[in-house]
Structure 1
């Protein structure tokens, strides 16, 4: 097989991979396999199994609504966020992140991890034996508004009497992290002794646009089998997510933000569902509620960015929520490298260019060998043409003669495509890193088109709104192809000439940072080929 055919096959494969990513973004496999243990657990505790399509949440939870004026609002202010709690049950009314805006507009509001519509689903509400404690109980609190700084922590205590139970919720907030720790004490003061169920919950609006295929809002959990997640809205509405056992955490998350529950008891049942366009999760624990006996349970919450700097300090392996799929092993080092460059240049666009140069230098020897191999293949074209003419009716003999020709002149027909093959995983790794690294969300490169007030590359995680970079990228690809030694029959050459056009079309909606990487890589490849031609001359 001649060199050009190999390169053509690689290029076409690359186009197929890109097209597949563009048209059919990978969806995580639904954790169906976890359902059977849940049913067994329910049977053991004599709970009613959840049928297909039935809500995994108790009825009070799906119908309860709160009136925020019923309780006193308590504010927790830190350098990272401002949270508003409601004394009626200790509900979370809002959790506004100070370092993240909804859009790149100057007057954009900060990201609220709860959202007004989610308030009716009771974020951080406790459910005891199916009772919505924030709705049925009489509550008070101890403490006041918190204003935390440095590495300080502050605590608010909520106490309520709920149908014969005394509940105390002790919430500890940290100034240097998005972590909230909760200690719950439940005293059965009046009810007969029995086994009960206590569920920690949270809820939020969708963390991304409903039709966003590249950044869906998911419900996930992490257990001994690893990460499981589901992002199909239809499935989350009809079936939801349910699993039991040694579960470290459950969460509502997107590429950039996460609301996680981290129960301290591992033997729990986690549940998730999409109701009224609000995502909800719960972590439920069976507990003995003997009369006159006080029980203690604990849970932590993390409401904030998918930032490993903070998540690595959170218990329960929450950092495993940052996952780039198949290319995780490549994407994470690339994200780290981008952060390293950024701390010196303070611009992620420049950091991407520097990373591209480093990657190109690493591949330089292979690329150099590749171009030389293509030059050698070009020299063999007259002899190869004679062999095709001589053995036009005998394909098997033609292949043997071709292989002998390559062997005689010490030419590797696949040598020209090795660098391309090696760069494909790097490309997709960077693609995943750009789509899933919160530091690159709204990262600015060249905010305004030079000499104008037109917003241009103000968000490297989004497409180029003016389509300038993909067009330039296509032009550099065309120029690079014109400089590459031509081989193969005329039909293959014509197909190859369409590649820049196909790539340009595919790159139109890709993150601008990825297009910048590929464009700079093409420019460096052109410079390398020019140097090789100049050396020959």
Structure 2
């Protein structure tokens, strides 16, 4: 009987729960926790008029914006010391974004860089879509304001108001005169008598910034796993990412268009490359009760990849400055470069000083390398004798070579290992100079000496007369002549062509990179010459207890049999006898 009573009680409880859920269905869960700043809020001041009575939904009156009157789209201009932006009042879409600190070329009257082109307008840069419908095309919009002009310390705002698909959209942009950031307060208001579910998307779009293969345009995003870049092939197929997205962007080495959602919202990134237009859309799904509003804060950054402006941007946006595999080394090197520039006012001189500092840091390692190379050079006659004697017995040849190295305490890899340690620094500086916006249109020697011909007026462009690549190749050839020749004749011939290969590679590189490599070669030649001069004709020191190979003794006997040059005093004595 007790079991029957329990069963009856359970069945009755389920019946009551089912009937209750039918009569009073629960509201769908909100995306964010109640303590989040994005939680659904009541409309300010008049929210009570908009909130329907849950017990009497038939009395609901849809909310309306006071004096909402749709108008034709018109251009609104915002001018700051850093940029001039043009928006369309229909949706707040960006039509132009002109960087007032960056020109398209080094000509004094060259037009400024515009990061938004007519080709990208149909993709809706800085527009929003509702349920994948472009609000700037399908929605109705109104605007009540005027053009803005900001000084360095000014802060001003624009507000665009629209409606589409039963929701009202309020977009408020805030600008500062000393920043490339645009703050957005986005409000979505449910003006219907039923719950609204929809997807809101913030959009950025632009064509490739340049056709330079050394400076490609990429879509980047930053999440809990760090920074990632997507290749064009993936973008053409359509790319989607949604795990812990912090920001997403379109950029190249020099410029960036980025969108940053605040408060760690659950967003989805969709990126594509279509008709050579890069487009990103960051979306999230909203559930809004009748008469309620969902508020969201976002940041747009449109401008140069300049650490001074990005360091204070939200969500670690400064991580967009990325120099490749050795990024952790390249960043402090570029910071040092900017330090030298702040004292010299010339980035070419700053590159020379930075190269000198790096050379001083690695001086001890390079010193060991050049000393080892000098020792190998002195062993060349003995090594040639061993190769000739055992040319048909590779194993015996290697054994005798190793015995020779041990006899004179020479490490055959001693000339390479110190250089290998420096390679990551060289590559990091190479990548840093390649991707530093600071070098764009930076001048070293503006005119060829004693002429009015423009020369190294842009360190981010190639040398127009190929002077620096050719001189760099000559320094490489001189370095090879100072180093011991390879034992293999074929390898020696290949090494002779290496400077030509480097000239061919570097001839199209930015002149700032070539200047760094040239300066490093000149300093290396100077150090190598100093080592050779210090060593002079000092004989090799034989290790204690080590027997010299027979081939070494033969070489020494030949050297002894050679007539020695008379000294200066001996020559003077002979002259006296003749007199």
TM-score by length of 2: 0.77
Query: Does structure 1 residue 96 correspond to structure 2 residue 98?
Result: yes
Asked whether the equivalents of residues 143 and 155 of structure 1 are also in contact (C-alpha less than 8 Å), the reply is no
1:459 Cα offset (Å): 1.6
SS, match of residue 267 in structure 1: coil
Larger radius of gyration: 2
The equivalences for 1:127-526 within 5 A come to 127-190=129-192, 192-209=194-211, 212-232=212-232, 234-237=233-236, 239-264=237-262, 265-486=264-485, 488-526=487-525
- Counterpart in the other structure of 1:42: none
Asked whether the equivalents of residues 82 and 100 of structure 2 are also in contact (C-alpha less than 8 Å), the reply is yes
Asked whether the equivalents of residues 377 and 483 of structure 2 are also in contact (C-alpha less than 8 Å), the reply is no
- Aligned partners of 1:339 and 1:277: how far apart in 2? 35
Asked whether the equivalents of residues 97 and 115 of structure 2 are also in contact (C-alpha less than 8 Å), the reply is yes
| Deviation string, structure 1 residues 269-303 (Cα, Å, up to 9, x no partner) | 11112233322111101010222221112221000
- Counterpart in the other structure of 1:57: none
Residues 122, 369 of structure 1: CA spacing in aligned structure 2 closer, same or farther, 3 A cutoff? same
SS, match of residue 89 in structure 1: coil
Asked whether the equivalents of residues 378 and 487 of structure 1 are also in contact (C-alpha less than 8 Å), the reply is no
Asked whether the equivalents of residues 169 and 186 of structure 2 are also in contact (C-alpha less than 8 Å), the reply is yes
SS, match of residue 144 in structure 1: coil
Asked whether the equivalents of residues 77 and 147 of structure 1 are also in contact (C-alpha less than 8 Å), the reply is yes
SS, match of residue 325 in structure 1: coil
- Aligned partners of 1:489 and 1:186: how far apart in 2? 75
Asked whether the equivalents of residues 142 and 160 of structure 2 are also in contact (C-alpha less than 8 Å), the reply is yes
1:191 Cα offset (Å): 5.7
1:489 Cα offset (Å): 4.3
SS, match of residue 88 in structure 1: coil
- Aligned partners of 1:385 and 1:319: how far apart in 2? 57
| Deviation string, structure 1 residues 397-416 (Cα, Å, up to 9, x no partner) | 32222222212211111111
1:479 Cα offset (Å): 1.8
SS, match of residue 192 in structure 1: coil
SS, match of residue 245 in structure 1: coil
The equivalences for 1:8-157 within 5 A come to 70-157=72-159
Asked whether the equivalents of residues 464 and 508 of structure 1 are also in contact (C-alpha less than 8 Å), the reply is yes
Asked whether the equivalents of residues 82 and 99 of structure 2 are also in contact (C-alpha less than 8 Å), the reply is yes
SS, match of residue 314 in structure 2: coil
| Deviation string, structure 1 residues 389-441 (Cα, Å, up to 9, x no partner) | 44333322322222222122111111112343233222221221122111111
Asked whether the equivalents of residues 165 and 191 of structure 1 are also in contact (C-alpha less than 8 Å), the reply is no
Residues 378, 135 of structure 1: CA spacing in aligned structure 2 closer, same or farther, 3 A cutoff? closer
| Deviation string, structure 1 residues 27-85 (Cα, Å, up to 9, x no partner) | xxxxxxxxxxxxxxxxxx9xxxxxxxxxxxxxxxxxxxxxxx93232221111111112
TM-score by length of 1: 0.82
- Counterpart in the other structure of 1:14: none
1:258 Cα offset (Å): 0.7
Asked whether the equivalents of residues 223 and 244 of structure 2 are also in contact (C-alpha less than 8 Å), the reply is yes
- Aligned partners of 2:384 and 2:166: how far apart in 1? 93
Asked whether the equivalents of residues 200 and 299 of structure 1 are also in contact (C-alpha less than 8 Å), the reply is no
Asked whether the equivalents of residues 166 and 187 of structure 1 are also in contact (C-alpha less than 8 Å), the reply is yes
Between 95-104 and 486-495, the greater mean CA deviation after superposition: 486-495
Residues 385, 131 of structure 1: CA spacing in aligned structure 2 closer, same or farther, 3 A cutoff? closer
Alignment gaps of 5+ in structure 1: 1-44, 46-68
Between 73-82 and 448-457, the greater mean CA deviation after superposition: 448-457
- Aligned partners of 2:86 and 2:118: how far apart in 1? 12
- Aligned partners of 1:376 and 1:435: how far apart in 2? 37
SS, match of residue 208 in structure 1: coil
- Aligned partners of 1:487 and 1:88: how far apart in 2? 71
1:521 Cα offset (Å): 1.6
- Aligned partners of 1:96 and 1:423: how far apart in 2? 41
Between 179-188 and 116-125, the greater mean CA deviation after superposition: 116-125
- Aligned partners of 2:520 and 2:83: how far apart in 1? 39
Q: Which has the higher contact order (CA 8 A, sep 6+)?
A: 1
1:487 Cα offset (Å): 5.3
SS, match of residue 247 in structure 1: coil
Between 74-83 and 142-151, the greater mean CA deviation after superposition: 142-151
Asked whether the equivalents of residues 94 and 126 of structure 2 are also in contact (C-alpha less than 8 Å), the reply is yes
1:356 Cα offset (Å): 1.2
Asked whether the equivalents of residues 368 and 418 of structure 2 are also in contact (C-alpha less than 8 Å), the reply is no
- Aligned partners of 2:375 and 2:347: how far apart in 1? 40
Alignment gaps of 5+ in structure 2: 1-30, 32-70, 537-579
- Aligned partners of 1:458 and 1:284: how far apart in 2? 44
Asked whether the equivalents of residues 94 and 115 of structure 1 are also in contact (C-alpha less than 8 Å), the reply is yes
